[in-house]
Amino acid sequence: AQSVTQLGSHVSVSEGALVLLRCNYSSSVPPYLFWYVQYPNQGLQLLLKYTTGATLVKGINGFEAEFKKSETSFHLTKPSAHMSDAAEYFCAVSEKGGRALTFGSGTRLQVQP
C-alpha cells in the first residue's frame, strides 16, 4: 500500500526566503508524484507532477520539486517566498496503473512580511 508523509503541519517563512516543504512517500512500485495547493475555501490546484524522466520538475508560480528515489522523497521548493504563496500544500502519490491518489495530511505555509 502507498502512503505519504508530510513533515511539518505548519511552516512559516519570511517574504523573500526559501520555501521548503517536505514529502516522503512509500510505494511498492515506481510512483507518480504530485503537489497540490489549496487556498482557503477553494479546491485543490495542481502545482506540478513527476511521472518519468527528469527528476527535477518545475511547476507553476515558481515552485519546483525533485524526485529522489533513494530517499523516497519529493520535496517542494521555491527560492523566494511571496505573500501570495500562503496556502495549504498537499503531496500525493499514485501507483502507475492505479486510479486513486493518496494524499499527505498537508502543510500550511505562512509567509511573514
Partner 1 sequence: SQTIHQWPATLVQPVGSPLSLECTVEGTSNPNLYWYRQAAGRGLQLLFYSVGIGQISSEVPQNLSASRPQDRQFILSSKKLLLSDSGFYLCAWSVNGLGSYEQYFGPGTRLTVT
Binding site for partner 1 (CB under 8 A): 32, 34, 36, 41-46, 49, 51, 90, 94, 98-101, 103-106
Q: Which C-beta is closer to partner 1: that of 97 or that of 113? A: 97
Q: Which C-beta is closer to partner 1: that of 52 or that of 84? A: 52
**Tally of CB atoms within 10 A around 35:** 26
Q: How far is the CB of 32 from partner 1 (least distance, A)?
A: 6
Q: How far is the CB of 86 from partner 1 (least distance, A)?
A: 17
User: Hey, which residues does 39 pair with through a beta bridge?
Assistant: none
Q: How far is the CB of 110 from partner 1 (least distance, A)?
A: 15
Q: Which C-beta is closer to partner 1: that of 17 or that of 66? A: 66
